[in-house]
Amino acid sequence: MSILSVNGERLLNRIRALGETGRDSDGRLSRIAASDADKVGRDRLVDWFRDANLEIVVDRIGNIFGVWRDAGNIEKAPVLIGSHIDTVIDAGIYDGCYGVLSGLEAIQTLREAGITPARPIAVAAFTNEEGVRYAPDMMGSLVYAGGLSVEQALATIGTDGSVLGEELHRIGYAGTHEPGFSRPHAYVELHVEQGPVLERNRIPIGAVENLQGISWQRVTIDGVANHAGTTPMSMRHDAGHAAARVITFLRDRATASNTPTVATVGCIAFEPNAINVIPSRASFTVDLRDPDAERLRAEEAALEGYLQDLAAAEGVTISTGRLARFEPVTFDTGIVQAIEQAAAGRGLASRRMTSGAGHDAQMIARIAPAAMIFVPSVGGISHNPLEFTAGADLVAGANVLLDVIQALAAAD
């Protein structure tokens, strides 16, 4: 098989152009799912899919597909390349977008080389991978894989009180195809690592063999509002202080564990949120992750026990609500090996890895053999405008994707 190479300049230009799309008035990249900014990014992507003469399909949860198929292979299950183009708040330009645009680039490169694959090849941009506005994250791919009903997903209420289905309709991406309309032959996702491992070890390619479990919940602590000046410390039922104890408990426990367990409190709000009022309520999110299913369950149980003791000690009431819960996922060994072979075929070192971040691949792995390719993140930084991957690494990753896709699309 000839060693083709992607058009690196076209790929890097599109990554930069999409990275400029949908920025807010402060210049921050916040293409939050189903927002006006998301629409601007989606429209840009669909224009590129159209320029590449792909068949464009949008399903009911707003997943966008660019499909390359012809009379000779239309009956076969497609090889699917995917990721997402929605972002977190004040994001970098590579998370998700790199994988979708590399999928488009791989298809265009194969087409321009006159290759007619034995199978259709499609590229997907899944809705609401980040889960910042609507929980859970990886929602579009979860629905596509049958893990959440499309009706339930469309009825999801956002952190801003909006309804996902209404927002998708408003931005013109409430598609008609049933999610899961086409079961992929295989799925590959190319993504920046978003961690320090590849850069630290000077390795350009990660062959991702598994992905850690994710537990998201919202904790609400109800205490008693009182005067900040007149209330003795012994008489307080301070929801804010109780929340601070939970945050410290989570961090100390994860840090002391000497395991890969990670714990994050990313959102917090006090009521009535006034400088001279002891908070009556604290509401915050807890993100727990661990590659080991048993350890993740143990962390959830430890938090539950701590909350019970804390409620008694502080004279507050504490309730929790589940936002997302995904078991660890192991990817397809055959595709992981194909990634290693493709890297070696290009003289690129690779190493097996676990993904710390959630990805659409973990959902599509429920319905098809799936795996991921990582490229280095400078400083291991992501979910931050300083997120950066060198152009040469981005192109190398896209070429490995191209080789893997070509092999999968040729396979019977």
Distance CA 3, CA 145 (A): 33
CB of 238 to ligand HGY, least distance (A): 31
**Residue span 132-151 as binding mask against ligand HGY, x where in contact by CB under 6 A, dash where not:** -----x--------------
Which residues in 238-389 belong to E strands, given as ranges?
A: 262-264, 268-271, 277-278, 281-290, 317-326, 329-330, 350-355, 370-375
Give the range of 49-57, 92-100, 327-335, 367-375 binding Mn ion by CB under 5 A: 92-100
Distance CA 135, CA 142 (A): 11
Residue whose CB is less far from ligand HGY, 225 or 324: 324
Residue whose CB is less far from Mn ion, 59 or 95: 95
Q: Would you count residue 357 as binding ligand HGY (CB under 6 A)? A: yes
Give the range of 3-11, 91-99, 112-120, 385-393 binding Mn ion by CB under 5 A: 91-99
* Structure-block tokens of residue 98: 């790199």
Please classify residue 4 by burial: count the beta carbons closer than 10 Å to its beta carbon, then call 0-12 exposed, 13-18 middle and 19+ buried: middle
Report the residue from 358, 369, 376, 397 that binds ligand HGY according to the rule CB under 6 A: 358
131 binds, among Mn ion, ligand HGY, none (CB under 5 to 8 A by kind): ligand HGY
Residue whose CB is less far from Mn ion, 96 or 204: 96
CB-CB contact of 150 with 369 (8 Å): no
Report the residue from 62, 96, 136, 195 that binds Mn ion according to the rule CB under 5 A: 96
CB of 404 to ligand HGY, least distance (A): 22
Alpha helices in 116-272 (DSSP H): 139-144, 150-154, 164-170, 197-201, 239-256
Total interface residues for ligand HGY by CB under 6 A: 6
CB of 97 to Mn ion, least distance (A): 9
The answer, yes or no, to whether the previous bond of 279 is cis (omega within 30 of 0) is no
96 binds, among ligand HGY, Mn ion, none (CB under 5 to 8 A by kind): Mn ion
CB of 110 to ligand HGY, least distance (A): 29
Which residues does 166 contact at the CB level (< 8 Å), separation at least 6?
A: none
Short-list 218, 234, 219, CA closest to 278: 234
Residue whose CB is less far from ligand HGY, 174 or 357: 357
Distance CA 361, CA 375 (A): 16
Which residues does 405 contact at the CB level (< 8 Å), separation at least 6?
A: 79, 81, 103, 106, 110, 121, 188
Give the range of 1-9, 90-98, 172-180, 229-237 binding Mn ion by CB under 5 A: 90-98
Give the range of 95-103, 204-212, 249-257, 389-397 binding Mn ion by CB under 5 A: 95-103
Q: Considering only residues 39 through 98, tell me which ones interact with ligand HGY, judged by CB under 6 A.
A: none
CB of 61 to Mn ion, least distance (A): 17
Q: Considering only residues 95 through 134, tell me which ones interact with ligand HGY, judged by CB under 6 A.
A: 129-131
CB of 68 to ligand HGY, least distance (A): 27
Residue whose CB is less far from ligand HGY, 131 or 369: 131
82 binds, among Mn ion, ligand HGY, none (CB under 5 to 8 A by kind): none
* Structure-block tokens of residue 262: 């990670």
Residue whose CB is less far from ligand HGY, 109 or 382: 382
Distance CA 378, CA 387 (A): 7
* Structure-block tokens of residue 174: 């409430």
* Structure-block tokens of residue 100: 């979708």
The CA-to-CA distance between both ends of the chain, in Å, stands at: 16
137 binds, among ligand HGY, Mn ion, none (CB under 5 to 8 A by kind): ligand HGY
Q: Any idea of the CA torsion for 337, 343, 348, 350, to the nearest 10 degrees?
A: -30
The residues binding ligand HGY (CB under 6 A) are 129-131, 137, 357-358
The residues binding Mn ion (CB under 5 A) are 95-96
